[in-house]
Structure 1
Amino acid sequence: MSEALPDGWVWATLEDLLAAEPRAITDGPFGSNLKSSHYTDSGARVLRLQNVGDGEFRDERAYISLEHYENLKNHNVQAGDLILASLGEELPRVALVPDLEGPAIVKADVIRARLHPDLNSKWVLYALQAPATRAVAMSKIRGVGRPRLGLGEIRKLPIPLPPLAEQLRIVETLEGHLSRLDAANRYIARVRQSTTSFDSTRRCELLDPWLSSTRKLKTLLASPLINGRSVPTDDDGFPVLRLTAIKNRVLDLSARKGGAWQREDATPFLVERGDFMVSRGNGSLHLVGRGALAVGDPDPIAFPDTMIRVRPNPYVVDPEFLAFVWDSQIVRRQIETAARTTAGIYKVNQRILEALDIPIPPLDVQAQIIEAARDHFAVVERLMEETGMAQKRSEHLRRSLLAEAFTGRLVRQESADEPAVEVLKRIEVEHYSRPKKLRPRKSGPNKTTLPPPKITVVPAGTQEELAL
């Protein structure tokens, strides 16, 4: 795709589009300014990474007292602001803040950007999700274990800016297409939810006769529970699993990295066939304590401190049966009730896991349940695979729509529209008419001379795809 923009458009950066006020863009407080001990049951909202969906605001709740909010109100958030995640695998992740019905601040790793009122906030929201912007952002990310896009880089993210009237036309048309795509996504989500319910019901049917025959997990182990070890990343070091290896009941041994340690250091933490690995923490309650089974004979690989190893005694419980029962409502209720939360992260520990009551039928009955479960899983996995493919197609269509929108091909252009550069000039005048000490800190060249960024846009979809 050419870097040239349609007539009347201009390249800008996010900081060019900010409101003419102090701290129009800011990150959250760090360190002792906002600790876990500051969190309360009510008061001022704290917007965290969990609130920043990919284009949507997630209503996860956390609070600090109104008194402490007064100390941190330079980081405040109001309806219409954009919040951007500066930490994550795919950045920028951005959401538009709704009316929160009270004061709020952002937490560390969340950037709040307050746009100038002469701009359309939704246009900027969609521009930050566009494939071209994502490509630029991904090239600026630093860090492997904790990928990060700093505040300075977020300020300089390129935004293609059309005339305001055209912004409004594009947003209206784009949201019409996206609303139909969202309806399709909701249908896919209902199918997946029905599949999950079917899965849960079948597990209950197989386990119900044995609910009175439970044993504590601690009595089912071949060796005590053990947490993994945290090691720095070293591409040439001994391999260690990533937390993403815990997925879909079977441990994904390809989800790994090199660790800065030797084989002898990793030996106590090696994964063996039949080990069941459990995640220690997650920002979502329904994901904390999920587990996956090591099948086959793994090559030498260790597990990290984000996992707890459960090594079942095969003379008492078949590891495959333990993996089956672990995702049942019987066990999940216990885990979610016992999980503890710190600063929005749910956690389990060895003591919680040891106390779990696990239904344990005789080994021959376990084998029968496993056989029945395999047939059940085949149906569930086929349904989940088909809906997963539909989700991927939906994601491709969304990228195609955004690509069309941000190259000026989605709506007509009107020669009477005021060119975008005139809006930028007014914003600049407003910024620099303020006292010098209140002027924004610039991190790059003037917007009118900003060169077009080196970007690559994914190919746009066909008109049939965009019609939806």
Structure 2
Amino acid sequence: MQLGTFSFVTKLAGFEYTKFVRYDDEGDLRVIKAENAGPHGFKTTNYSRVRSSSVAELTRSRLHGGELLMVFVGAGTGNVATVPEGKDFFLGPNIGMMRVETDTVSPRFVELFLRSSVGKALATAAMKAVAQPSLSMGTIRQIPVLLPPAEEQQEILRLVEQALTAAAECGADVREQQSSADILRQSILAAAFRGELA
């Protein structure tokens, strides 16, 4: 199914940005930007902020958690992430929002599909080949997503999450071993320079 058939896709329009958006360090809303959608999903950053009162008219740009994000211009074009639950955000420049509007489609499934090599290729197939890569909202709405029935989505998600957890744990073990090897290497070098190695 095309992404636009089961989700509302939008962005912050340029005129809205210039008319309403004023960054304010004391603002109550964190602003989501392209840097928040990395190749491995959502990335927490030092957020710009806005006051919700100043962007009150831009209701479609308010994010409440669970929405999908896609970078549509620049180096990270095609990167996808999910907005964290439990906090309100505001949709900033260079990143589009996709709000799944049906219970039969899992936003997490769509995120992981679009982050896969197949999904990324489908998403960026119509990318404009110019100096700065970009996708239009119309192109994003037309991205094909391979969607099995809801029960299969959940089973695939369970298996993928299991594999991702195992990979993360393996990565932590490797980093721990590298750290131990680095410490050992440094102690050997220190001993060598002190003339303590036989």
TM range (shorter): 0.7 to 0.9
The equivalent residue for 2:4 is 15
1:74: Cα distance to partner?
A: 2.2
1:194: Cα distance to partner?
A: 8.5
Is 1:26 the counterpart of 2:10? The answer is: yes
Please, which of 117, 132, 135 is the counterpart of residue 118 of structure 2? 132
Give CA deviations for 1:54-78 in whole Å, capped at 9, x if unaligned.
2421122221112212032221212
1:37: Cα distance to partner?
A: 7.7
The equivalent residue for 2:160 is 174
- 1:37–1:163 distance in 2 versus 1, CA, 3 Å: closer
1:160: Cα distance to partner?
A: 0.7
8 Å Cα contact 2:34/2:76 also seen in 1: no
Paired letter, 1:87: V
Please, which of 185, 188, 193 is the counterpart of residue 171 of structure 2? 185
- 1:28–1:187 distance in 2 versus 1, CA, 3 Å: farther
8 Å Cα contact 2:20/2:54 also seen in 1: no
Q: Map of 1:362-373 to 2, 5 A cutoff? A: none
The equivalent residue for 2:35 is 50
Give CA deviations for 1:160-210 in whole Å, capped at 9, x if unaligned.
11111111011001110111112233445567788999xxx9xxxxxxxxx
Is 1:156 the counterpart of 2:142? The answer is: yes
8 Å Cα contact 2:21/2:55 also seen in 1: no
Q: Map of 1:408-419 to 2, 5 A cutoff? A: none
Write the distance in 2 (CA, Å) between the matches of 1:194 and 1:35. 54
Give CA deviations for 1:227-249 in whole Å, capped at 9, x if unaligned.
xxxxxxxxxxxxxxxxxxxxxxx
Please, which of 68, 78, 83 is the counterpart of residue 92 of structure 1? 78
Paired letter, 2:95: V
8 Å Cα contact 1:29/1:107 also seen in 2: no
8 Å Cα contact 2:105/2:150 also seen in 1: yes
Structure 2 unpaired stretches of 5+: 187-198
Number of corresponding residues: 181
1:17: Cα distance to partner?
A: 1.7
Write the distance in 2 (CA, Å) between the matches of 1:16 and 1:107. 24
Identity %: 22
Is 1:40 the counterpart of 2:24? The answer is: yes
Q: Map of 1:265-280 to 2, 5 A cutoff? A: none
Write the distance in 2 (CA, Å) between the matches of 1:154 and 1:44. 26
Write the distance in 2 (CA, Å) between the matches of 1:98 and 1:174. 19
Please, which of 50, 54, 65 is the counterpart of residue 64 of structure 1? 50
Structure 1 unpaired stretches of 5+: 1-11, 19-23, 202-468
Question: Please, what is the CA RMSD of the aligned residues?
Answer: 2.9
Q: Map of 1:307-346 to 2, 5 A cutoff? A: none
**Which deviates further from its counterpart, 123-132 or 37-46?**
37-46
Rg comparison, structure with higher value? 1
Paired letter, 2:41: E
Larger relative contact order (Cα-Cα within 8 Å, sequence gap ≥ 6): 2
Q: Secondary structure at the match of 1:28?
A: coil
- 1:37–1:84 distance in 2 versus 1, CA, 3 Å: closer
Give CA deviations for 1:288-321 in whole Å, capped at 9, x if unaligned.
xxxxxxxxxxxxxxxxxxxxxxxxxxxxxxxxxx
The equivalent residue for 1:75 is 61
The equivalent residue for 2:90 is 105
Paired letter, 1:26: T
The normalised TM-score by structure 1 is 0.35
1:139: Cα distance to partner?
A: 2.5
1:117: Cα distance to partner?
A: 2.6
- 1:187–1:145 distance in 2 versus 1, CA, 3 Å: farther
Write the distance in 1 (CA, Å) between the matches of 2:24 and 2:70. 24
Q: Secondary structure at the match of 1:95?
A: strand
Q: Secondary structure at the match of 2:145?
A: strand
Please, which of 131, 136, 151 is the counterpart of residue 145 of structure 1? 131
8 Å Cα contact 2:22/2:50 also seen in 1: yes
The equivalent residue for 1:348 is none
